[in-house]
Amino acid sequence: MKNSMTRVGVDIGGTFTDVALAHPGGMSTCKVLTNYSQPEQAILDGIGIAAEQAGIELSTISQVIHGTTLVTNALIERRGAKLAFITTEGFRDVIEMRSENRSEQYDLNLTLPEPMVPREDRLTLSERMGPNGEVLLPLDPADVSAIVDVVLAGGYEAVAIGLMHSYANDAHEVQMAQALRAAKPDLPVSLSSVISPQMRELPRFNTVIANAYVQPQVADYLGRLVTRLREADVTAPVFMLHSGGGLISVETASEQPVRLLESGPAGGAIFAADFARAHGLDKVLSFDMGGTTAKICLIEDGAPKTANTFEVARTYRFKKGSGMTVSTPVVEMVEIGAGGGSIASIDTLGRIQVGPRSAASEPGPACYGKGGEEPTVTDANLLLGRLDPENFAGGTIPLSVEASQKVVSASLADALVIDASEAAFGVTEMVDENMANAARVHTVENGRDIEHFTMIGFGGGAPLHACRLCEKLGIRELLVPPGAGVGSAIGFLKAPFSYEASQGLFQRIDAFDAQAVNATLKDLEAEARSFVDKGAKGAETTTKLTAFMRYAGQGWEIPVPLDYVIFAQ
C-alpha cells in the first residue's frame, strides 16, 4: 500500500544525480554518478539505494518529482532535432539579426551565438496578421501545401512555427500546424502562439525554436523514464519541476520542454528560500555549487527573484545580450561553468584558468579513477586536504590522492615550476574568484548591495568554497543547511504545483475594454488550472495576476501585481 508521505525528489546534474527520499521515518539521500547515455538508469539506481537505506519498498513511493539540465545542455551543446522554422515572409532572418546590440562594444572579433536553425531550414509563408489580430494578408492554401511538401522532403524531425503577431490571432499558425499534422501525425510541431504568446518577435521566435529543438529528445527521455520506473515497481505519478519553481505533469513537460530550462537549479533556489524563511532571513544569496556548474540567486523576503526571459548559451561569460534570449518564466540566477569537475589549465600568458570545460561524470576528475587525465577543482581540493578520500559521497566513491597528484603536477605544477600543493591552491583561488565575480555582476545588475546579504551554501562543492567566497564578497554570515549536498532534490519536495499562463493583449488605459480583459483572464485561468489539475486535481489553488504596463513611448513593461478579484467580478 502506498504511503502519502513517501515522496522522492531526483535532480540530474552534469556530474551527479541526487536523490532525496522523504518517508514517515525521516529523509534518506544519496548521490550517484550521472549516466549520460541512459540518464534514467542513474535515477533508478539512486532511488533504489535511498529506498534500501530507508527500509521501504519501491512500491510504497507515492510521488516522484524530477528536475534535469537535459534541456539546457541540449541547447548549449546543440544536440537537438533536425528542425524547420516556418515564419512570415520577410522575417526569416530575425533570429540571426537578433537585437543588433553588442554585448562587448569594443571587441572587433565579437562572437555571437549561431542561430539554432540554419537559414536554408527557415521557411516562409506569404501571410500577415496585424498587431490587433486583423488579417492583413490571408494565408494561401497553396503556400501551406508547398511548405508541407518541403518539410516532408527535408526529413525534419520537428517543426517550429512563429508568424508575425500570432499572439493576437493564432489562426494562421493553427492552419499551418493542422496541415503538417494531417500529412505526418507523429511530427512534433510547436506554435509560438502556444509556447510564448507575447509581443516581440525575437524572444518569441527563439522560444518556440528552443522548444521544438529539444521536444523529441525530452519526450523520448521522459517516456523511457516513466516506463523504467513502472518496470521497477514505482507506479507513482511523475512530476517535473519547471524553471519558475513549480511542478507540472510529465505530459506538460513533454509538450513544452522549454519550461524545463532551469529545472534543476530552480529546486536549489526553492531549498534556499525555504531555509531563509525558517531562519527569518530577508536578504539571502543562494550559492549552489555542484560538479559541473555554480548557480547564484538572490532571495528576498523569502522568495527567489524571478523573470520572464532568460539567456541560454552566452558566448561571453556574465555578459547580457551574448546569449539566446527565450521567453519563459524562470527563477532568475547566474550560472557559470565552475564546479568540482571544472578542468584547470594554463593559458598562453602562463596563468592558471579554471573551466568552463568539465570532466563531468565521464570520465570525471582524475581522483575518481575512471580515466580522467586532466586536473580539476576536486583534484585540487583533495590535495589540499579538504576532502576525505575514504568517505567521499558517503564512501561510495573512493578517491585517489596519487592520481590527483600526478595530473596536477604534470599539467600545472611542473609547467609553472611550483609545488603541486601551490598549484592546487591556485586552482581553488581562481575558481573562487570566478564565482565571486559572477556574484558581483549579478547583484550589481539587480541594484543590490551584496555585503548585507547572508549566504546559504549547498550542493556538493559549496561548503568547500563558501567561506572563501564570503571573504571575497564581504559577506559576514554563512549558513550550510542539513542535506546541503542534495539541496536541489530536497527543494523539489517543497515545490508547489503551479503554471504560468500569459497572453499579449494591448490596450491604452483611456480605451480600456473590461469585457475583453475579463474574457482573456478567464481563458488564462482555465489554461493554468487545466495544467495544475493534471497533477493536483481538486487541491486548493491561488490565482495571481500580473499586468505588464508601460507609459506611451516607453520601451519595456514593468510588472504590476493586481488584485485578481477585481477583474473576475
**Predicted pLDDT at 166:** 94
Average pLDDT value for the chain: 88
Place of cell 529506498: 51
By CB atoms closer than 10 A (0-12, 13-18, 19+), residue 104 is middle
Tell me the CATH number at 97: 3.40.1360
Confidence label for 531 from pLDDT (cuts 50, 70 and 90): confident
Of 55-64, 203-212, 503-512, minimum mean pLDDT range? 503-512
Residue at 448 is within a domain? no
Same domain, 240 and 182: no
pLDDT band per the 50, 70, 90 thresholds, residue 79: confident
How many other C-beta atoms lie within 10 A of the C-beta of residue 351? 11
Percent share of the chain, pLDDT over 70:
96
Q: Per-residue b/e over 61-79, b at no fewer than 16 CB within 10 Å?
A: bbbbbbbbbbbbebbbeee
pLDDT band with cut points at 50, 70 and 90 for residue 7: very high
- Total domain count, the chain: 4
Same domain, yes or no: 207 and 83: yes
Reading phi first (left if > 0) and then psi (alpha if -120 to 50, else beta), residue 222 is in: alpha
85 and 169 together in one domain? yes
Q: Is residue 471 part of a domain?
A: no
pLDDT, greater one: 405 or 530: 405
Q: What count of other Cβ atoms lies within 10 Å of the Cβ of residue 224?
A: 14
pLDDT for the residue 157: 95
Higher-pLDDT residue of 536 and 240 is 240
The answer to whether residues 203 and 81 belong to one domain is yes
Among 402, 429, 456, which residue terminates a domain?
429
Same domain for 210 and 81: yes
Q: Residue 317 pLDDT more than 70?
A: no
Is pTM beyond 0.75? Reply is yes
Q: What percent of the chain has pLDDT over 90?
A: 54
Task: Name the domain boundary from 214, 230, 246.
Answer: 214
Would you give the distance in Å from CA 516 to the centre of its chain? Answer: 34
Indicate if 81 and 54 belong to the same structural domain.
no
> What's the CA gap between 69 and 355, in Å, rounded?
18
Residue 519 lies in a domain: yes
Do 209 and 93 share a domain, yes or no? yes
In this prediction, residue 536 has a pLDDT band, given cuts at 50, 70 and 90, of low
DSSP string, 238-284: EEEE-TTS-EEEHHHHHH-GGGGTTHHHHHHHHHHHHHHHHTT-SEE
- Predicted confidence at residue 569, as pLDDT, reads 44
Question: What is the domain range of residue 117?
Answer: 77-214
Domain CATH number, residue 231:
3.30.420.40
Say yes or no: 84 and 199 in one domain.
yes
Q: Which stretch of 227-231, 254-258, 475-479, 544-548 has the lowest confidence by average pLDDT?
A: 544-548
Residue with cell 527521455: 221
pLDDT tens, 169-198? 999 999 999 999 999 999 999 999 999 988
Q: Identify whether residues 232 and 187 lie together within a single domain.
A: no
The answer to whether residues 245 and 118 belong to one domain is no
For residues 228 and 247, membership in a common domain is answered with yes
- Predicted local confidence at residue 178, as pLDDT: 97
pLDDT of residue 383: 94
